[in-house]
Chain A
Amino acid sequence: DAGITQSPRYKITETGRQVTLMCHQTWSHSYMFWYRQDLGHGLRLIYYSAAADITDKGEVPDGYVVSRSKTENFPLTLESATRSQTSVYFCASSGTANYGYTFGSGTRLTVV
């Protein structure tokens, strides 16, 4: 869907580097989410945000930082990337906490 975009689509980074994944939505949805997808683990929630300046931890927050200064943007930062953070990252948004999430196209991150 054109309404939620993630960048970059692909990223290779080295262990220990900081990397930021971007997410932008145009619907003014209140809720935004970051999930990671790994084989055997499905989709796991990293962080979510209920509104600008309100963020909270999900199931697997360690090693990640988020911010939401504007409703439309929800960047995810890996402060010091590790190989275990190699994954596909999906951003999602919704008008409510738990209905009909719309996902971005994902960022495939490889940490070498």
Chain B
Amino acid sequence: GQQVMQIPQYQHVQEGEDFTTYCNSSTTLSNIQWYKQRPGGHPVFLIQLVKSGEVKKQKRLTFQFGEAKKNSSLHITATQTTDVGTYFCAGPHAGNMLTFGGGTRLMVKP
């Protein structure tokens, strides 16, 4: 079964509002990665977090890795229409390959 859970599945926001998606793993992870998939596109690697409690920023995007290395979050400040898409977290599991969460689909109303 799926070992990486993401919530929420869907999120509608007004342009300018903030957005957060949460990722939880059933096991401790050596690292967590985030990918973005635009509508009709393919997943694109955004970032990797490795250390317990790590926080990384990419412009309006803030990524956090939990202290126990079992959860992570992605926060977008002041969403724009270009942020539309599905955000996936992924972590190494059985066989050391990446297991992806179910994704959070973000929709932004202009």
Of B13-21, B41-49, B58-66, B68-76, the one contacting chain A is B41-49
Instruction: Give Cα A96–Cα B75 distance, bound, in whole angstroms.
Output: 27
B96 proximity list for chain A (CB < 8 A)? 97-98
A104 proximity list for chain B (CB < 8 A)? 42
- Number of cross-chain contacts by CB at 8 Å: 57
Instruction: Give Cα A77–Cα B97 distance, bound, in whole angstroms.
Output: 21
A98 touches B103 (CB 8 A): no
A40 touches B102 (CB 8 A): yes
Knowing A33-B97, A58-B97, say if A99 contacts B48 (CB, 8 Å).
yes
Q: Pick the residue among B31, B43, B98, B101 that contacts A90 (CB under 8 A).
A: B43
Q: Mark A44-79, 1 if CB is under 8 A from B, else 0.
A: 110010000000101100000000000000000000
* Extra contacts besides A42-B103, A97-B92, A101-B43 (11): CB < 8 Å: A33-B97, A41-B102, A44-B100, A58-B97, A98-B31, A98-B96, A99-B33, A101-B35, A103-B42, A103-B44, A106-B42
